[in-house]
């Protein structure tokens, strides 16, 4: 049985570095680990290790890579309780959600263990009598992955599992707040038999590590989940080496409730979409538009549900919302709520720091929210549900699309014509109809406009880790 509570970085199969940077529990600031503070030199070593490992790993049979991924999946599932507890400690989300994330993370490893065997090419009818056209897909090479703190496990496996399935090797930089889950996943990958150098995990100076990743001509793809601002910097930094980019960036999700919706179902959908991970997801409902005929009913019912939430330490029984990740996150939520209330929004529940203090914020519902308030154009990334009133379908589609973002969108309606019209009109990479959650390993997750480039999950998630090679076989 692997001891996966590691406090060192993982380079070329070795656990390296000494504890320098404290990792604290966001619920109470208690130090839970000391991790290394690595930089450009160690990143270069990790890239070299990944480059050396690429040849042998990519030459394994797809079935052999698949078997190792399958074993990794089984180990993650077997250790889901402990991994969940570790994740709660470093990230703060309630245990049930943390374990849910571990299973979500595992699902990508399982899916791509299967998909490794299905990276098909094609043949194309040739225009030449003595020629045949064959297209194959080959692994792109070493990839760099930069992952966020809000999903410390799933955003790693959603990136590296398809990369490994394709035959690529990886250097991962987890978020500085949450490296322990990343180290634990690496320890389990090692136990599963992943060869040295295929996965490397480095934590430390974000700019130095990211800079070395971007500059290196040996890194052929950059995959990142995080803010649009950082995504734009990475695009610029990767330009000189013309890397493949996979970017999952910010969102500003509309959640629309039409008059013909099942209001109770819409309330349940809003609860999951808005309050999962204390509102700290890129796909969280950020603007809840409710048609005037059901506005009162929806706001009353949502307020009742929100008041049932239990805020507290993630490892306490019955807790449904943990702390926010850091002080800056709390300050941002306070500022946005203050701005909205100052401009005329009403608080039906919550609206302030929770009595536990620290980084605990009350689950909040705001009514009479209007588009001149700052939260309309900013990702709240906190447990605040702002309700906007609208009258017509055309009006709400225009409001929903009035953003530079285009990741997830949600709406509740029963009229079939409206369902098709609105789904097609929403300028988003993902449209979730009559449900509040759309994340699954079998579907392509990703955005349009400034929400990103590429898709993760499903068979599409493997595309950015392969190159398409056209071979003209002539002289036949
Ligand atoms: C994210 O917030 O970045 C990912 C959310 C998800 O996969 O559901």
Report the first-to-last Cα separation within the chain, whole angstroms.
56
Look at residue 397 and give its three-state secondary structure. Answer: helix
pLDDT exceeds 80 at position 146: yes
* Residue of 267, 269, 261, 268 whose CA lies nearest to 292: 261
Write out pLDDT tens, residues 439-455. Answer: 999 999 999 999 999 99
pLDDT bracket for residue 22 (50, 70, 90): very high
Look at residue 40 and give its three-state secondary structure. Answer: helix
Cβ of 107 below 6 Å from ligand 1: no
Q: Which of 445, 451, 455 should be mutated for ligand 1, with most atoms under 8 A from CB?
A: 445
Write out pLDDT tens, residues 357-410. Answer: 999 999 999 999 999 999 999 999 999 999 999 999 999 999 999 999 999 999
Instruction: Sort strands 346-349 and 452-453 into parallel, antiparallel or unpaired.
Output: unpaired
Which residue has the CA at smallest separation from atom 5 of ligand 1?
281
Cβ of 451 below 6 Å from ligand 1: no
Question: Residues 388, 399: contact at Cβ < 8 Å?
Answer: yes
Integer Cα distance of 98 and 471 in angstroms: 46
Q: Is 318 exposed, middle or buried (0-12, 13-18, 19+ CB in 10 A)?
A: exposed
**DSSP H helical ranges for 79-171:** 80-91, 95-115, 154-166
pLDDT exceeds 60 at position 10: yes
Cβ of 321 below 6 Å from ligand 1: no
Question: Residues 168, 199: contact at Cβ < 8 Å?
Answer: no
Question: Residues 290, 389: contact at Cβ < 8 Å?
Answer: yes
Tokens 């005929």 locate to 293
pLDDT exceeds 60 at position 1: no
Write out pLDDT tens, residues 228-271. Answer: 999 999 999 999 999 999 999 999 999 999 999 999 999 999 99
Write out pLDDT tens, residues 176-216. Answer: 999 999 999 999 999 999 999 999 999 999 999 999 999 99
Q: ∠445-448-452 over CA atoms, to 5°? A: 70
pLDDT bracket for residue 3 (50, 70, 90): confident
Question: Residues 181, 152: contact at Cβ < 8 Å?
Answer: yes
| DSSP string across 430-461 | EEEES-S----TTS-B--SGGGEES-BSTGGG
CB-based contacts of 225, cutoff 8 Å, min separation 6: 146, 147, 148, 151, 155, 159, 247, 248, 249, 282
Which residue has the CA at smallest separation from atom 6 of ligand 1?
439
Average pLDDT over every residue of 316-333: 98
Its pTM stands at 0.98
Integer Cα distance of 434 and 263 in angstroms: 10
Residue 395 among the catalytic residues: no
- Exactly one of 90, 101, 248, 441 is catalytic; which is it? 248
């Amino acid at each position: 049985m692997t001891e996966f509570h590691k406090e060192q970085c993982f380079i070329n199969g070795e656990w390296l570095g000494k504890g320098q940077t404290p990792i604290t529990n966001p619920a109470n600031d208690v130090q839970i680990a000391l991790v290394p503070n690595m930089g450009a030199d160690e990143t270069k070593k990790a890239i070299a290790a990944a480059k050396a490992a690429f040849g042998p790993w990519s030459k394994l049979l797809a079935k052999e890579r698949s078997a190792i991924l399958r074993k990794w999946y089984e180990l993650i599932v077997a250790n889901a309780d402990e991994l969940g507890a570790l994740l709660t400690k470093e990230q703060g989300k309630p245990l049930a959600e943390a374990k849910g994330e571990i299973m979500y993370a595992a699902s990508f490893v399982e899916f791509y263990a299967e998909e490794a065997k299905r990276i098909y090419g094609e043949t194309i009818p040739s225009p030449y009598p003595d020629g045949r056209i064959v297209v194959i897909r080959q692994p792109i090479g070493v990839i760099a992955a930069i992952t966020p703190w809000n999903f410390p496990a799933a955003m790693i496996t959603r990136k590296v599992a398809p990369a490994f399935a394709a035959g690529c090797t990886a250097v991962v930089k987890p978020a500085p707040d949450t490296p322990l889950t990343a180290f634990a996943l690496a320890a389990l990958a090692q136990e599963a038999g992943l060869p040295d150098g295929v996965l490397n995990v480095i934590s430390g100076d974000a700019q130095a590590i990211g800079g070395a990743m971007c500059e290196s001509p040996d890194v052929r793809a950059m995959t990142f989940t995080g803010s649009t601002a950082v995504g734009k910097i990475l695009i610029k930094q990767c330009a000189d080496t013309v890397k493949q980019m996979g970017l999952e960036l910010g969102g500003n999700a509309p959640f629309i409730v039409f008059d013909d919706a099942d209001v109770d179902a819409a309330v349940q959908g809003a609860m999951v979409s808005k309050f999962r991970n204390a509102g700290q997801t890129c796909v969280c409902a950020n603007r809840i538009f409710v048609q005037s005929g059901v506005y009162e009913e929806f706001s009353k019912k949502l307020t009742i549900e929100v008041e049932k939430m239990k805020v507290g330490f993630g490892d306490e029984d019955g807790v449904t919302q943990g702390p926010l990740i850091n002080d800056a996150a709390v300050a941002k939520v306070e500022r946005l709520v203050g701005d909205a209330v100052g401009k005329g929004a009403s608080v039906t529940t919550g609206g302030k720091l929770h009595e536990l203090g620290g980084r605990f914020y009350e689950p909040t519902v705001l009514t009479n929210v209007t588009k001149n308030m700052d939260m309309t154009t900013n990702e709240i990334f906190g447990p605040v549900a702002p309700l906007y009133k609208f009258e017509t379908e055309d009006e709400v589609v225009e409001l929903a699309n009035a953003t530079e973002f285009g990741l997830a969108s949600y709406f509740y309606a029963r009229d079939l014509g409206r369902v098709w019209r609105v789904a097609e009109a929403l300028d988003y990479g993902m449209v979730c109809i009559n449900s509040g959650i759309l994340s699954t390993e079998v579907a392509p997750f990703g955005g349009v406009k400034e929400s990103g480039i590429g898709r993760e999950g499903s068979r599409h998630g493997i595309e950015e880790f392969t190159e398409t090679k056209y071979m003209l076989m002539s002289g036949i």
